[in-house]
Structure 1
Amino acid sequence: MREVPSGEVVVAHEVVDFQRERLAWRLYMVSHVMVALSEPPQSPFPVRNYYEALCRETAWGALFFATTHMGPVSAERTAKRLQAVLRFWEPLQSARYLFKNPRMAHTLEELMLASCDWAMDAWCPLGDASVRTRLEVAAERMASATREDCIEAIFREMPRALAHAGQLTHRHVVANPTFQRERLATLDAWSFERVSSACTADLIWLLHHWDRELDRQ
């Protein structure tokens, strides 16, 4: 992994290269490898897991997996991603990052706030603490979270998920906390693990899944 000189620009916007003509460092090729590892004849999940674990041992791999949402992952996996970024915090601070706005370069703190605010809001709702401190607390809590801890984090993030869920036929039902708690209690271990980090995108998926279930009843 090559060292990026201080002050250089890194494109960190998921898999989108929105300024191909600009001289900059880019992280998006990591996702191409992840997609390739899902194709036959590989057994996708073990291979992808090993590849991610290897990438998290590098500064840029750690940053990629912390800021890019590639499918639902557990609270435990999310904790490992955040902890990896925190280990490389000082060297990662030397660069500037393009994320959602191609005309605005972010500091590391601004990048993590833009990409991981859901994790901080769900797991460390302390608005006056620094971004780094909130990420440290969130990662620590995720790493040791019980199922009930995850449910409480999900409830803290659910209002944002509902606000971005789009059209829901049974919104008044799926927005009911009693309904949500009952449905969360019935999820099997594998399904619960997929939403246990309380990531907004995963909760939006869950709300639409519940909505479709109600349609079939």
Structure 2
Amino acid sequence: MMPGQTSSLRLPSFLHGTFRSVQQKARREGLRCGEQYHKDGTFPAPQQLLEVPPGEVVLAQEVVDFQRERPAWRLYMVSNLMGHLSNTPSGEGQNPFPMRSAYETLFRETAWGALFFATTYLHPMSAERMAQRLQAVLRFWEPLQCACYLYKRLGEAYTLEELMVAACGWALDAWCPEKEASVHVRLEKATERMARATREDSIAAILRQLPRALSSEPDLKHRQVLADPIFQRERLATLDPPSFERVSGACTAELLALLFDWDDKLGMH
């Protein structure tokens, strides 16, 4: 546990309640944060943090939130907050992404923020950004273990380890394929490798993940060509720095977008 941390998990009070109440509170919090950011470039701290009782369930994804009238911890609603950061009069017409990135940088240094940003699909998913997100989760591992999590399957509560495999298994497979180690150890190794990854390191991770991406998408028309490692390496070598940075983390969803782009270009010939 890091100095200054508590062993219990605490979440902002605006994330607890019925679906409707949390939706409204997250909107107000987003507007409050946006207003202060436009004034002085900072964000206010949440007005109140509440301790999550040990073993209590935290909803980490909206798809499992089917009892909306039941008060619950709705962590995924941080995305609602972020959607309202730029909805203030002073934020109209401005690019929202720098402010969202600044919000992430600050609140990734909290247990709740670390978990939200690691388990929610938010651009960028580069090796550098994902290393930062996963390192943050590791810093708050002990308090985050206090809760159970609903993520993809209705009614099936995950431990922290199970949640990280469900949400970030692609990163473990790409960057730490040594499956005999514990989830915590694999995350440590994966983040270390992602943080110092060269372009060639990322290419190796991408090549490990491309078969998984291919197998998950039946609609690709030129599967035999796309599955050729020589073709894959040649195409990766042609990506400009911004395009390569986008896929450098080897996130399955980003690789699927890349495969569809290659597939479309093959169809033009």
Amino acid aligned to 2:72: A
Select the structure of larger CA radius of gyration.
2
Displacement of 1:184 after TM fit?
0.3
Displacement of 1:165 after TM fit?
2.0
* TM-score calculated relative to the size of structure 1: 0.94
Q: SS of 2:121's equivalent? A: coil
2:110 aligned partner: 58
Cα distance in structure 2, aligned partners of 1:132 and 1:151: 24
Out of 91, 95, 108, the residue aligned to residue 43 of structure 1 is: 95
Displacement of 1:16 after TM fit?
6.0
Q: SS of 1:29's equivalent? A: helix
Identify unmatched segments of 5+ residues in structure 1: none
Q: SS of 2:66's equivalent? A: coil
Amino acid aligned to 2:52: V
Q: SS of 1:10's equivalent? A: strand
1:151-183 per-residue CA deviation (whole Å, 9 max, x = no partner) reads 000011111100112301111111111111011
Please tell me whether the aligned partners of residues 11 and 25 of structure 1 are also in contact (alpha carbons under 8 angstroms): yes
Number of corresponding residues: 217
Map residues 3-42 of structure 1 onto 2, 5 A cutoff: 3-13=51-61, 17-37=65-85, 40-42=92-94
Please tell me whether the aligned partners of residues 15 and 31 of structure 1 are also in contact (alpha carbons under 8 angstroms): no
Identify unmatched segments of 5+ residues in structure 2: 1-11, 13-48
Q: SS of 1:42's equivalent? A: coil
Amino acid aligned to 2:261: H
Q: SS of 1:28's equivalent? A: helix
Cα distance in structure 2, aligned partners of 1:212 and 1:82: 33
Map residues 1-217 of structure 1 onto 2, 5 A cutoff: 1=12, 2=49, 3-13=51-61, 17-37=65-85, 40-217=92-269
Instruction: Note closer, same or farther for the CA distance 1:69–1:170 as it changes in structure 2 (3 Å cut).
Output: same
Please tell me whether the aligned partners of residues 14 and 68 of structure 1 are also in contact (alpha carbons under 8 angstroms): no
Cα distance in structure 2, aligned partners of 1:72 and 1:201: 12
Cα distance in structure 1, aligned partners of 2:190 and 2:65: 30
Instruction: Note closer, same or farther for the CA distance 1:42–1:196 as it changes in structure 2 (3 Å cut).
Output: same
Please tell me whether the aligned partners of residues 64 and 151 of structure 2 are also in contact (alpha carbons under 8 angstroms): no
Please tell me whether the aligned partners of residues 64 and 153 of structure 2 are also in contact (alpha carbons under 8 angstroms): no
1:45-104 per-residue CA deviation (whole Å, 9 max, x = no partner) reads 211110111120111111011111123421000000000000100000000100111211
Instruction: Note closer, same or farther for the CA distance 1:96–1:62 as it changes in structure 2 (3 Å cut).
Output: same
Amino acid aligned to 1:196: S
Greater mean alpha carbon deviation, residues 10-19 or residues 132-141:
10-19
1:101-147 per-residue CA deviation (whole Å, 9 max, x = no partner) reads 12111111111111111111100011111101100110010000000
Amino acid aligned to 1:90: E
Amino acid aligned to 2:59: V
